[in-house]
Structure 1
């Protein structure tokens, strides 16, 4: 009965032409309806019952990402991986690929406007570099983003010449170097050259009298 009701809800969702209307419907109607059922399923699993494939679980995770509730979405998505839950029908990607792409795209948009991407980017970054075996270009772009994030100002601009902390510059460069080692077309050469120039400038000024202003 639940699957029949879910199928009806998915058909209703497709009837909306505007993306924003779909997001609103997911947030205000579908998730309040289905999340309590998913929470009940998780409570049963946590109490020792054997997990089973639950399409409601997967669908709620997708909807949570769609409405940008990344905290709850990641919590449930990591749990889905732990329980071996299949991806929602119609989505031709495994959980790690879907999660990494979704969070990376969101992070890029946030960074462009100087907004924080934490803690969600770091949560996924940790999975990408330590646990998930994704294609090298995907892992490389996470290392690249991590390195660039250390160089961003409040407006989102990447500008090594404005950084006065040599340790921070070297840390950023190590991430970018890792990206280049994973994927030769990572596109980090220019910014790494800028970091090198800035480090040499800091070293030169550091050898002068204390108090010399660093341009």
Structure 2
């Protein structure tokens, strides 16, 4: 846990994954299990990074894979990971969530699928508005394409 406390996520994840593998419990005073602690710690870190336009990788992706494939966490926790992963695909360099500036249909579709999964896991995921914005953007891109307006600058976003 000390590695997380000093901001060394790489070492913290390495040691905590090993503790899980060996069946080691959390420190005595802490009434949590490793997966929940790791998920919350990395999620909080990723939120702070994303808000400032910094990369959330490789730590968010590493933990997200375990959240969806290996760990049995409460549905609201798993939902917030899906939501965050979807929103991460929509973030601009400054950290703002901007579906309207993305020209990559595949990226928009992937983000929408992740947000849809969040909503299916937890009814209070609060993804409806951003999903509507994605749908609007996809319709606009389809309209542009049908008119032959899509150019390379839109495709690269």
Q: TM-score, normalised by structure 1?
A: 0.69
Q: Deviations over 1:82-141 (max 9, x none)?
A: 000010111111000000000001110110000011000011001000000000000000
User: Of residues 47, 52, 55 in structure 2, which corresponds to 1:108?
Assistant: 47
The Cα of 1:71 is off from its aligned counterpart by 0.5
Query: Matches of residues 99-138 of structure 1 in structure 2 within 5 Å?
Result: 99-138=38-77
Partner of 1:166: 105
In 1, distance between residues paired with 2:123 and 2:68?
18
User: Of residues 20, 27, 31 in structure 2, which corresponds to 1:92?
Assistant: 31
In 2, distance between residues paired with 1:146 and 1:211?
27
Task: Determine helix, strand or coil for the equivalent of 1:99.
Answer: helix
Query: Matches of residues 1-215 of structure 1 in structure 2 within 5 Å?
Result: 62-210=1-149
Contact between 2:83 and 2:114, CA under 8 Å: does it hold in 1? yes
In 1, distance between residues paired with 2:101 and 2:79?
25
Task: Determine helix, strand or coil for the equivalent of 1:128.
Answer: helix
In 2, distance between residues paired with 1:108 and 1:209?
38
* Moved segments of 4+, more than 3 Å: 210-214
Taking a change above 3 Å as real, the CA distance of residues 210 and 200 of structure 1, as seen in their structure-2 partners, is closer
The Cα of 1:209 is off from its aligned counterpart by 2.5
Taking a change above 3 Å as real, the CA distance of residues 190 and 88 of structure 1, as seen in their structure-2 partners, is same
State the structure with more CA Rg.
1
Task: Determine helix, strand or coil for the equivalent of 1:196.
Answer: helix
Contact between 2:86 and 2:111, CA under 8 Å: does it hold in 1? yes
Q: What 5-or-longer segments of structure 2 have no aligned partner?
A: none
In 2, distance between residues paired with 1:109 and 1:211?
34
